[in-house]
Structure 1
Amino acid sequence: MSYFPTIPKEYEIICLLTLNRGQTFERGKIYDRVWGLEGSGDDTVIMEHIHARGQI
């Protein structure tokens, strides 16, 4: 098993996706669950976190 450093929000996104394997989330729902912003954030932020972790 290998470990890689993450920032807190990346870790929360990874946990959300891992704990809900097979489920599809709209970006707004990820914002709601991770940032608590009810889908009002910038879509590019989520994609940057996910692309930075291409291992997901």
Structure 2
Amino acid sequence: MKINIPPEEGDFYLSESGFRVFTEQYHLKRGYCCESGCRHCPYGYDPKTNSQ
């Protein structure tokens, strides 16, 4: 079940392009991999092989 976790201090930073980049801290709080190839994914997802 996917739940919405509101971001808190340390959950993200803004990239030079102005995009919100979620940190490992946020991904761990969320509790699952979204399989989007996130930069700081702690679950080991590889978008090239589509596997964790």
- TM-score norm. by structure 2 comes to 0.30
Say which structure is richer in helix. Answer: 1
